[in-house]
Amino acid sequence: MGIDWKAYQTNGFFDELIDGQGGVRPHGRQLAQFFAGLSGDELKQARAVADLAIKEMGISFTVYDEGNTIDRAWPVDIIPRIIGKNEWQTVETGLKQRVEALNLFINDLYHEQKIIKDGVFPKDLLAKSVNFRPQCVGVNPPNNIWAHICGSDLVRDGDGTMYVLEDNLRVPSGVSYMLENRSVMKRVFPELFEQVPVLPVNDYPSQLFDMLSAMSPRPQDIPEVVVLTPGVFNSAYFEHCYLAQEMGCELVEGRDLVVEKDDCVYMKTITGLRRVDVIYRRIDDLFLDPEAFNPDSKLGVPGLMRAWAKGNVALVNAPGAGVADDKVVYAYVPEIIKYYLGEEAKIANVPTYKCLDKKERDYVIKNIDKLVVKPANESGGYGLLIGPKSTKKQQQETIAQIKADPRNWVAQPTLNLSTVPTLAESDPAGRHVDLRPFILSSGKDIQVTTGGLTRVAMVKGSLVVNSSQGGGSKDTWIVDEEAE
C-alpha cells in the first residue's frame, strides 16, 4: 500500500500534518487517508504526471549562476501543505492589520514624519535607509496607498506559533507559482479535490485586476492597465507573462511606453498612442525612470515619476514603498501597529536584535554561532548567516561586516521551523517550510489570498527554502474543517 504515516518521523519538530504523538491532525485526516491508500507505483506515477504537467505548462524560474542565466522547471512536491480554516482566519486578520499600519507608516514618512517627531521611530534609521526615495516626498498616491501588494513571509516555530518573518513591499513575487501549484495538483489528483473541502485560490487574478483598476486616475469602466516587465531575462518573467495573460492586460517593457508633453503615459501600438492609467510595475525603483533615478537605465520610462507625482498615472506598488521593506524597519512593526492603529500586533514578529544598538550588537557578536544574521535589504536568502551551520571563518567575516556597518544588520534566534511531509525520497520525510501569502490593498478593501506560496527546503536539515538555492514548493490548502 501507500504511505504508512505511523512510520513517519517528526524528529521533534512541529509538523503541519502529523502531531507529536504520531497522529494525523484533524483537518488533514482525509488527505492522509488518501495518500495512505496509494501504492508505491501510484505515487511514482503521480510524481511523473506532476513533472510532465510542469514541463507542458512551461512553469519555470530563472537562476543567475556565475554570470549565466539558467531556466529551470519549477519544483513542486505533490503532498500539499494543509492549514485549517479557523486558524487561517486569525492569520488573515493579522496580515490585514499589518498592511494597513505599514501603509500609514510609509505615507507618514513621505509627509509629516509624525512617528519620528513622537520618538517612536529613530530619525537616524530613516536617514540611512537605502530604500527611502526623496523623489517621493510630498506625493499623494490614490487613497494614500503605497504598498498595494505585499508578500509577508510566515514561519511556524517548534511550539506551533505562527510568526511574520519579513515583509516584501517592493516588488513581491511568487503568486503565479501559488496559482500554478494548484493547477498542477488538480491535474495530478482531481479526485482528491472532490473529497477534501479545499478553499479556492483561482480568483486572485480578478482580485488583482479589480484592485489595479481601482487605482486609475480616470473614472472609466475599464481603465488601461499594463504590466511593466524588465524583460525576458528577469528571474520572474514567467510570472509577469502569466499575470498579464490572466488579467487580459498588455505586457510591456519600458521602450513600449512614452511620457508626452501633457505628463501622461502612453503605450505605443500599431494604431498609435494609447493612454495608460495604471502600471503594475515589476521593475525596481532605481530603474523606473532615468530622469529621476539611474540615468543609465534602459528598462524604465523617462518622465514616469513626473507623470505619477502629478496624479496622471498610478504605479503599483508605488515608488518608495520599499522604505518599509527593510529588516531593521521590520523590528519596529509592532510599535508601528500600536502607534497608527492603537492595537497590539495580531501576528508576532520573530524576536529581532538590531545591530545599530550597541548592547544588542555586542550580544549578536558574542552569540553569532547561535543566531541567524541577516543584511537589512538582501532577498532570496543571499548574505544570510545561519550561525549553527556556519564555519568560524564565515562568522568572523560577518562580524567584520557588522562592525563596518551596524545599521545594515539584524539577528534572530534560530527557529525550529515547522515541517511538512515531502517526497524528497521514496518515502515522505519532514522538510522545513515557510509560507508567503499575498495581501492586496486598495485603501477601501484589503484581501488576503486563501493560503499562499509554501516554499520547502528540499535538502534534509536545511532551513533555506528559496528556489534559487535549491528549494521547492507545495500547494497550500486551507481546509474548511466544518465542511469536512
Q: What is the DSSP letter of 15?
A: B
Instruction: Tell me: do 374 and 472 sit in the same domain.
Output: no
Q: Which of 396, 413, 430 is the last residue of a domain?
A: 413
Range of the domain at 408: 353-413
Verify that 155 and 39 share a domain, yes or no: yes
247-300 pLDDT per residue, tens: 999 999 999 999 999 999 999 999 999 999 999 999 999 999 999 999 999 999
Over residues 307-350, the pLDDT tens digits come to: 999 999 999 999 999 999 889 999 999 999 999 999 999 999 99
Instruction: Kindly state whether residues 97 and 197 are assigned to the same domain.
Output: yes
**pLDDT tens readout for residues 404-441:** 999 999 999 988 899 999 987 678 899 999 999 999 99
Query: The domain that contains 366 carries what CATH number?
Result: 3.30.1490.270
Note whether 102 and 178 are same-domain residues: yes
Residue where a domain stops, chosen among 370, 393, 413: 413
Q: Among the three residues 376, 398, 413, which one is the final residue of a domain in this structure?
A: 413
Question: Per the domain annotation, does 295 fall within a domain?
Answer: no
Same domain, yes or no, for 150 and 207? yes
Do 109 and 121 share a structural domain? yes
Residues 360 and 343 in one domain: no
- Same domain membership, residue 165 and residue 80: yes
Q: What is the dihedral of CA 283, 287, 289, 295, to 10 degrees?
A: -170
> Is 29 within the bounds of a domain?
yes
For 350-409, give the DSSP string.
PP-EETTSHHHHHHHHHTTTTEEEEETT--TTTT-EEGGG--HHHHHHHHHHHHH-GGGE
Q: How many domains does the chain have?
A: 2
- Would you state the pLDDT for residue 297? 94
Tell me the C-alpha distance between 95 and 151, whole Å.
Answer: 10
Would 377 be classed as within a structural domain?
Answer: yes
Residues 9 and 66 in one domain: yes
Tell whether 87 and 188 lie within a shared domain.
Answer: yes
117/107 same-domain check: yes
